[in-house]
Amino acid sequence: MITIDFPERHEEMAILKENLPFADDQVLTYVTDFLQHAHASDERYTVRDGVNIARFALKMASMESVAPSHELLRVAIEQTLGEEALRYVPGR
């Protein structure tokens, strides 16, 4: 069996920036914080999940012609990973 650790915070942020060059730092930081909280509890959410969350939130913001907000990111987390993932939302 091969075990791969979760990425460090700076690595995760770099991966998100690479995949989401159009996202602002507030979105990337929020998603990175979410993933780091989940990793601390051995939750198996991946950076790919983070990319999907950010893209979904950015798409909702674009459709509503608003800036991405923490509330849209929470909705994106819930819709992407399910309600149980909300326990890892930053600042809860």
Helix/strand/coil for 85: helix
Q: What is the mean pLDDT of residues 58-77?
A: 95
d(CA 75, CA 52): 12
* pLDDT at res. 92: 63
- Beta-carbon count within 10 A of 33 CB: 17
Return the DSSP state at 84.
Answer: G
Percent of the chain at pLDDT above 70? 97
| Contact of 61 with 69, CB cutoff 8 Å | yes
Please tell me the predicted confidence (pLDDT) of residue 91. 77
pLDDT of residue 2: 74
**pTM: predicted TM-score of the whole model, two decimal places:** 0.91
